[in-house]
Amino acid sequence: MSTREPRWVRWTLIAVALAFLGLNLALPLAAVFAGALAKGLTVYRAAVVEPDAVAAMRLTLTVAAIAVPLNIAFGLAAAWAVTKFDFPGKALLISLIDLPLSVSPVVSGLIYVLLFGLQGWAGQWLRAHDVRIIFAVPGIVLATVFVTFPFVARELIPLMTEQGRSDEEAARSLGASGWTTFTRVTLPNVRWALLYGVLLCNARAMGEFGAVSVVSGHIRGLTNTLPLHIEILYNEYNYVAAFAVASLLAGLALVTLVAKSLLEWRYGDQLTGSGH
Amino acid sequence: MTVSVAGLTKRFRDHTALDGVSLDVRPGEFLALLGPSGSGKTTLLRIIGGLDFPDAGSVTFAGEDVAGRPARERQVGFVFQNYALFRHLRVADNIAFGLTVRPRGLRPTPAAIRARVDELLALVQLPGLGRRYPAQLSGGQRQRVALARALAVDPTVLLLDEPFGALDAKVRGDLRRWLRGVHETMGLTSIFVTHDQDEALDLADRVAVMNAGRIEQVDTPDAVYNRPATAFVADFIGNACRFDCRLRGGEVELAGIRLPNAAPPCGDGPGVAFVRPHEFDLAAEGRPGLAATVRRVAHTAARASVECVTSDGRVIDVSAPLDIVVRGGEAVTLVPTTVRAYPA
């Protein structure tokens, strides 16, 4: 008995999927670029090199440059612990890793305000030592780290679970130390999944709005990331500039998409636990 | 090098894998741990190798207690069931791995490493395959690379976990012979785990039969086959048929006949008896013994296989000489010629 649908069903479904994608992805992207170039290239360029925009870009890049490596380290450590060892509380750790994905980004930012803000738990202590976290760059970094934490770990855990512990046990029985086993056996086995996770983590780190908005304080030129800067421009009715700066983020999204697709196409079997 | 374990106990969350296991492996011996799934044989092997740790008991290598030492420091060569070759390294780099991870002071020169790799590739009969990746090898070839990799670090003990489990029958037979040859060349104390009794009886110097976390018997293959010490061993080895019987004065009463008990002497009472397929005689209908009807006769192996159904519906495959004259549908009597019985 054939399980293939009649042609018209297949084509209808494809058309519906394309229409959905077109309406919700392609059209908005096109609108961003159209809006950015609405008044020509000179205006576009001016908006992008404007000092506050440049400062926002620099802050976004700095935050990503700190958050992504931190999350690579955390993600690798968590995946390594969860998949290579048995310990009480393992199930709890796995749930905690997924927590940032189920919590609203605004709440994620609020956590840090409640902890480190002036009225927060550590607020008085921080003030006494003249350490600024909330409404300053460290707060933005912390909020970004929290929000992007799961991406690397979630890519690695299924793959490492499927790969099991035999390779590591073999390395240990041959005399390798824990660190050597990790760098020469575990890491090479997961390198493409790791890269994939880094891509996702980076995209989210650069594009995060909600959590960063709560902790940032919106100080122009100092604590505005790119997404926050776009919001400010938009609220000032400076649409073309807003779209111009937004096109940078849209461009990043496209680059990320292409890189993801390349990885999936070339190393797909090594990304999820089916390759050997 | 002698390997000894004494009083090993290992419990997992819901069951006991090892229950007070003691075993002495002689230097240069090729010992098989044989048993059904769940008997604890792989757990025992892993504890000897330092990949798992017991809840109680000791492990000694040449008299020295190694219980505190992790796998890394025990100098064992471990061959895993699924080979566990490093997929991103070439065959030569896989074999050399154990040598390249040694600390600076103990590491051989690159030239020495290369020479050793070539030597091992020759030993495992894979010369010239050093530049290939594991994914480009067949199952049998991967198994040999895994062995070469384990031997590269000059282990004092070789441990193999179901080495031929994942291979097809023909390859398995060839590799069995080859492994025996390698063992004779190297003279290493080797312990291997298998659930395949043909393999264990064929390869090993001694076989340790395990059941539910305990060792039932440790003996030469000949002794394990012909003089099983317990009911479990008699049942597990050699495809025996199991019958209820009565033990009386060193004799076994079974199906209306009396036979001497070929198993170790035991007291009187109800018992279980084991008769192997070739230990039945086919006599005419009506004689003392088990009444049965012949269902099928096959002359497709070195001995004829006569499938019989007893009066209570039990199917027994009897192994008879090729010149046996019986036909399907004929009524016969199965007369056991050798029986091993144990207290029930």
Mean pLDDT split into 10-residue runs, chain B, 344 residues = 91 88 94 92 93 91 86 89 91 94 88 93 90 92 93 92 85 86 90 92 94 94 92 90 88 87 87 91 86 89 89 88 86 90 89
Q: Residue A261: pLDDT above 70?
A: yes
Residue recorded with tokens 């990503």: A64
Do A276 and B51 lie within an 8 Å CB cutoff? no
Share of chain A above pLDDT 70, in %: 97
Please give, one letter per residue, the 3-state secondary structure of B161-226: ECCCCCCCHHHHHHHHHHHHHHHHHHCCEEEEEECCHHHHHHHCCEEEEEECCEEEEEECHHHHHH
Q: Give the H/E segment covering residue A271.
A: none
A68/chain B closest Cα distance in angstroms: 26
- Tell me if chain A has a CB within 8 Å of the CB of B87: yes
ipTM metric: 0.83
Q: Residue A61: pLDDT above 60?
A: yes
Interface test with B, best of A86, A172, A173 (most B CBs within 10 A): A173
| B8 vs A17: CA distance, rounded Å | 62
Encode pLDDT of A130-144 as tens digits: 888 888 889 999 999
Side chain identity at B174, as an amino acid letter?
D
Do B97 and A167 lie within an 8 Å CB cutoff? no
User: What is the Cβ-side half-sphere exposure of residue B207, based on CA atoms within 13 angstroms?
Assistant: 30
Interface test with A, best of B78, B99, B102, B116 (most A CBs within 10 A): B78
Residue A221 · residue A52 · CB < 8 Å: yes
Do B76 and A180 lie within an 8 Å CB cutoff? no
Share of chain A above pLDDT 90, in %: 39
User: In what order do the strands lie in the sheet containing B269-275?
Assistant: B257-260, B251-254, B241-248, B269-275, B340-343
- Tell me if chain A has a CB within 8 Å of the CB of B258: no
Q: Which residues of B touch A171 (CB under 8 A)?
A: 86, 97, 101
Residue A109 · residue A214 · CB < 8 Å: yes
Please tell me the predicted confidence (pLDDT) of residue B82.
87
Report the residue of chain A nearest B136, measured CA to CA. Answer: A276
Cα B40–chain centre separation: 13
Nearest-by-Cβ selection for B78 from A170, A180, A184: A170
Please tell me the predicted confidence (pLDDT) of residue A274.
45
With a CB-CB cutoff of 8 Å, which residues 184-203 of chain B face chain A?
Answer: none
Nearest to B331 by CA among B285, B295, B281, B282: B285
pLDDT category, A221, cuts 50, 70, 90? confident
- Tell me if chain A has a CB within 8 Å of the CB of B53: no
User: What is the Cβ-side half-sphere exposure of residue A27, based on CA atoms within 13 angstroms?
Assistant: 7
Please give, one letter per residue, the 3-state secondary structure of B35-61: CCCCCCHHHHHHHHHCCCCCCEEEEEE
- Choice between A16 and A47, residue whose per-residue pLDDT is larger: A16
Q: Which residues of B touch A175 (CB under 8 A)?
A: 72, 98, 101-102, 153
Task: Give Cβ neighbours of residue B285 (< 8 Å, ≥ 6 apart).
Answer: B291, B331, B332, B333
Grouping H, G, I as helix, E, B as strand and the rest as coil, residue B66 is coil
- Tell me if chain A has a CB within 8 Å of the CB of B163: no
B283 token code pair = 């006599």
Interface test with A, best of B46, B73, B82, B97 (most A CBs within 10 A): B97
User: What is the Cβ-side half-sphere exposure of residue A213, based on CA atoms within 13 angstroms?
Assistant: 14
| B10 vs B262: CA distance, rounded Å | 35
Please tell me the predicted confidence (pLDDT) of residue A147.
92
- Tell me if chain A has a CB within 8 Å of the CB of B266: no
Please tell me the predicted confidence (pLDDT) of residue B97.
94
Nearest to B47 by CA among B62, B29, B61, B34: B61
Mean pLDDT of A163-179: 91
Residue B335 · residue B281 · CB < 8 Å: yes
Q: Residue A121: pLDDT above 90?
A: no
Do A175 and B135 lie within an 8 Å CB cutoff? no
Residue B109 · residue B168 · CB < 8 Å: no
- Tell me if chain B has a CB within 8 Å of the CB of A231: no
Four-point Cα dihedral B315, B321, B322, B327, nearest 10: -40
Please tell me the predicted confidence (pLDDT) of residue A229.
92
The region, left, alpha or beta by phi > 0 then psi within -120 to 50, assigned to residue B268 is beta
pLDDT category, A1, cuts 50, 70, 90? low
Do B72 and A189 lie within an 8 Å CB cutoff? no
Nearest-by-Cβ selection for B88 from A169, A175, A188: A188
B148 token code pair = 């070469």
Alpha-helical regions (H) of B227-301: 231-236
| A153 vs A93: CA distance, rounded Å | 11
Residue recorded with tokens 């384990």: B150
Nearest-by-Cβ selection for A167 from B76, B78, B86: B86
Do B101 and A170 lie within an 8 Å CB cutoff? no
- Tell me if chain B has a CB within 8 Å of the CB of A183: no
- Tell me if chain A has a CB within 8 Å of the CB of B88: yes
Nearest to B78 by CA among B191, B1, B205, B171: B191
Please tell me the predicted confidence (pLDDT) of residue B230.
92
| A79 vs A189: CA distance, rounded Å | 13
Nearest to A147 by CA among A251, A64, A227: A64
User: Which range (A8-22, A40-54, A260-274, B300-314) has the least confidence?
Assistant: A260-274
- Tell me if chain A has a CB within 8 Å of the CB of B78: yes
Q: Give the H/E segment covering residue B8.
A: strand B3-11
B9/chain A closest Cα distance in angstroms: 19
Do B150 and A174 lie within an 8 Å CB cutoff? yes
Please tell me the predicted confidence (pLDDT) of residue A60.
92
- E runs forming strands in A125-231: none
A136/chain B closest Cα distance in angstroms: 44
Interface test with A, best of B88, B133, B154, B160 (most A CBs within 10 A): B88
Please tell me the predicted confidence (pLDDT) of residue B137.
93
Nearest to B119 by CA among B99, B142, B137: B99
Interface test with A, best of B42, B43, B46, B86 (most A CBs within 10 A): B86
Residue A128's alpha-carbon distances to A132, A179, B318, in angstroms, are 10, 40, 92
Nearest to B237 by CA among B219, B258, B213, B261: B219
Report the greatest alpha carbon distance in chain B: 81
Please tell me the predicted confidence (pLDDT) of residue A272.
63
